[in-house]
Amino acid sequence: IKTIGVVTSGGDAPGMNAALRAVVRACSYYKLRCKGIRLGYEGLITNNIVELGPRSVSNIINRGGTILKTARCAEFRTEEGRKKAYENIKKNEIDALIVIGGDGSFTGAHNFEKEFGIPTLGVPGTIDNDIFGTDNTIGYDTALNTVINAIDKIRDTATSHNRMFFIEVMGRDAGFIALNSGIASGAQDILIPEKKDEIEELFEAIQRGEKAGKLSNIIVVAEGEELGGVYDLAKFTKMKYPKYDIRVTVLGHIQRGGEPTCADRVLASRLGVAAVEGLMEGRSSVMAGIRSNNVVFTPFDEAIVKQNVINNELIRIADILAR
Ligand code: ADP
């Protein structure tokens, strides 16, 4: 291969820029050309493609978001859309494609490779940490730190007013952000989709807190939690315990922004280089990840279908520590 294309796709995550920088700089190191596709797969279809050199990625290692921009592109889900993308890949003499994104983006890359034989390699970028084949995804650590900073602030006001706060955090269908930020911020209860929480369990946790003399409470709720959402949970709790002064905070998109943490910058740098080296070694239809501190490549088929599992030890200690 002589030219590698790189695209950021799907939901953005802090550290995507650091990954992009690593791809571009590794290409330069190995004397490969690098082309950046703007706006996710949309840029492939509309030929929104720019040449990237080592200086094009100066001063971005510390910036959240993605300078290439990202998008959700419906047209890439169709064969005609991918045909147009292939024509632009040829026009730009791109021999292989690195996709920084989530499992939706990998599914698109996988289909594209199967149809047109362009080697593709994935780099997991999402705050949700819901991708199999890597211990952490790029952006996850930053999001966790943003969440605990926010909850620390909420704790100050919760304590001052003896209030109970229900705090909704992101994670799509996964509870990684909720579970880990809940432990790190000392939550009284953590509701995640992986755990079949009964509302009774929440009430027990609240009662335990009361018996233990707690006057304020932080309850962390994953957005994918199936009990009807954070507002309903707060309403049910108020009906059951009218004496509690309850507030709801939905942290929302602040979790997706901000400068990446050291851990995310290092992860992104390692995976960006691994992606270029992986393609040079002839790997394709795989995702680069880090497991037990080693670079590993997981076939897209597996990365897309399998789920990262929640560590039961974390659920157990969260319960022990909330007493
Ligand atoms: P993420 O990569 O963060 O999971 P999405 O699920 O939105 O985000 O996927 C990003 C993009 O990948 C979509 O907008 C679409 O262009 C492409 N994509 C997703 N699924 C498919 C598919 N089955 N076939 C082709 N392209 C897909």
What mean pLDDT comes out for the span 228-238? Answer: 94
Residue found under tokens 């003896």: 162
What per-residue string of b and e applies to 103-128 under the rule 16 or more CB within 10 Å gives b?
bbbbbbbbbbbeeeebbbbbbbbbbb
Ligand 1 centroid, distance to 10 Cα (angstroms): 6
Percent of the chain with pLDDT over 90: 95
C-alpha 88/C-alpha 48 separation (Å) is 9
Ligand 1 centroid, distance to 93 Cα (angstroms): 24
Residue nearest to ligand 1 atom 8, measured at CA: 10
Q: Give residues (CB < 6 A) around ligand 1.
A: 9-11, 41, 72-73, 76-77, 101-105, 107-108, 111, 126
Residue 227 neighbours by CB distance under 10 Å: 15
- pLDDT for residue 160 is more than 80: yes
Provide φ and ψ at 18, rounded to 5°: -65, -35
95 is catalytic: no
Residue 15: what pLDDT? Answer: 98
What mean pLDDT comes out for the span 154-183? Answer: 96
C-alpha 117/C-alpha 31 separation (Å) is 23
Residue 323: what pLDDT? Answer: 87
Three-state DSSP at 284 gives: coil
Do 219 and 164 touch, CB atoms closer than 8 A?
yes
For residue 41, the ligand 1 atom closest to its alpha carbon is: 16
Residue numbers in the known binding site for ATP are 11, 72-73, 102-105
The active-site residue out of 12, 95, 128, 156 is 128
Residue 196: what pLDDT? Answer: 84
DSSP state of 132: T
Residue 198's pLDDT band (cuts 50, 70, 90): confident
For residue 101, the ligand 1 atom closest to its alpha carbon is: 2
Residue 309's pLDDT band (cuts 50, 70, 90): very high
| Distance, first Cα to last Cα, the chain | 58
Residue 228: what pLDDT? Answer: 84
- Whole-structure pTM over 0.90, yes or no? yes
Cα-atom radius of gyration of the chain, to the nearest Å? 22
Residue nearest to ligand 1 atom 16, measured at CA: 73
Ligand 1 centroid, distance to 47 Cα (angstroms): 18
Give the amino acid at 276: V
For residue 106, the ligand 1 atom closest to its alpha carbon is: 2
- pLDDT for residue 197 is more than 80: no
State CA 319 to chain mean position distance: 25
| Tokens linked to 317 | 């200690």
C-alpha 56/C-alpha 40 separation (Å) is 18
Element (H, E) at 273: helix 262-280
Pairing assessment for the beta strands 120-124 and 286-291 based on DSSP bridges: parallel
Provide φ and ψ at 28, rounded to 5°: -60, -45
Residue 227: what pLDDT? Answer: 85
Residue found under tokens 């309903």: 232
Ligand 1 pocket test target in 37, 66, 72, 305 with most atoms within 8 Å of CB: 72
Length of the chain: 323
Per-residue pLDDT reduced to its tens digit, 41-95? 999 999 999 999 999 999 999 999 999 999 999 999 999 999 999 999 999 999 9
For residue 72, the ligand 1 atom closest to its alpha carbon is: 14
Contacts of 32 (CB under 8 A, 6+ apart): 1, 2, 3, 4, 276, 280
Residue nearest to ligand 1 atom 19, measured at CA: 104
C-alpha 166/C-alpha 294 separation (Å) is 38
Per-residue pLDDT reduced to its tens digit, 139-149? 999 999 999 99
CB-neighbour burial class of residue 228 (10 A; exposed 0-12, middle 13-18, buried 19+)? exposed
Residue 226: what pLDDT? Answer: 86
C-alpha 102/C-alpha 308 separation (Å) is 13
DSSP state of 99: E
Ligand 1 pocket test target in 44, 46, 76, 78 with most atoms within 8 Å of CB: 76
Provide φ and ψ at 313, rounded to 5°: -60, -35
Residue 286: what pLDDT? Answer: 98
Residue numbers in the known binding site for substrate are 126-128, 163, 170-172, 223, 247, 253-256
Give the mean pLDDT of the chain.
96
Residue 275: what pLDDT? Answer: 99
Do 234 and 218 touch, CB atoms closer than 8 A?
no
